[in-house]
A and B are shown apart, each in its own frame.
Chain A
Amino acid sequence: GENVEQHPSTLSVQEGDSAVIKCTYSDSASNYFPWYKQELGKRPQLIIDIRSNVGEKKDQRIAVTLNKTAKHFSLHITETQPEDSAVYFCAASRSGGGADGLTFGKGTHLIIQP
C-alpha cells in the first residue's frame, strides 16, 4: 500500500517568513495530493491540492509543487501570519478527490513566532 512520509514534524518560523513542508510517497500510481490544515480539536480543512498532470499550483500565499519522478511534493506558505499556526497534513490517493481513501503523512506542527 501507499506510504507517505512528511517532514519536518515541527516547524517554527518568524512571522512574515516562508514555510516549506515536504512529503514523499511510495505508490507511483498515486495521482492526487491534497494538503490539509487542522486546528486543535477541529476537522481537517482542505487548503490546496494538486493532480499528477500538474507540476505546480498556487493560491494566494499558498503553493504546492509536485515532482512525480522523485515522488515528492511540497507545500509552500509565504508571508506567514499568526493564523497560519496549525498542524498541516499531506496526503496521497490513487484517484482524484481521494475516492479510494487517503493516506496521510504524520503531520507538521507549524508555529508562527510573532
Chain B
Amino acid sequence: GAVVSQHPSWVICKSGTSVKIECRSLDFQATTMFWYRQFPKQSLMLMATSNEGSKATYEQGVEKDKFLINHASLTLSTLTVTSAHPEDSSFYICRAIRADTQYFGPGTRLTVL
C-alpha cells in the first residue's frame, strides 16, 4: 500500500538553528500535503496546507516566516523550522492525500535545547 515517509524521525538541535524536515509520498503522487504539530498529550493542530508548485496556506497563528514550507514536487514537501527555540519542540507530522487516498507520515520528533 501507499507509504508516506518523513526524515529525520527525530532531531535534537541548539536554540537558534534551523531544522529541515522532509515528507515524501513513496508510491503515489500527492496533490496536497498537510503539516501538523502535536505537543505531548495533545491533539494534532494543522499548521499549513501545501500544494505542489504553489505557496503554502498557513493556519491562523502560524508564522509563515518561521515555518517555511516548500512543495517542490508531487512526492516531496519540506518544512523548515527557522531559528528554532525550545517552545518549538514538538512532534511534526505530515499527511499526504490524492483523491480519497490519505496517509500520515511517521512523524518527526524535534527537541530544541
Contacts and interface: CB of A to CB of B under 8 A. Distances in A.
B43 A106 contact: yes
Interface stretch (A12-20, A61-69, A74-82, A93-101): A93-101
A43 B93 contact: yes
Contacts of A46: 102
B100 interface: yes
The range of chain A's interface size is: 10 to 19
Interface string A73-114: 000000000000000010000001111111111110000000
B109 A41 contact: yes
B46 A103 contact: yes
Give the secondary structure class of B's interface.
Answer: strand
A8 interface: no
Q: Interface SS of chain A: helix, strand, loop or mixed?
A: loop
Contacts of A99: 32, 97
Interface in B6-41: 32, 34
Interface string B73-95: 00000000000000000010101
B43 A105 contact: yes
Contacts of B109: 41
A86 B57 CA distance: 31
Given A104-B44, A106-B43, 13 more contacts: A41-B107, A43-B93, A44-B44, A46-B102, A97-B97, A97-B100, A97-B101, A98-B97, A101-B34, A101-B46, A102-B34, A102-B44, A102-B46
8 contacts: A41-B109, A96-B100, A98-B95, A98-B102, A99-B97, A100-B49, A104-B43, A106-B43
Interface of B: 32, 34, 42-46, 49, 91, 93, 95, 97, 99-102, 104-107, 109
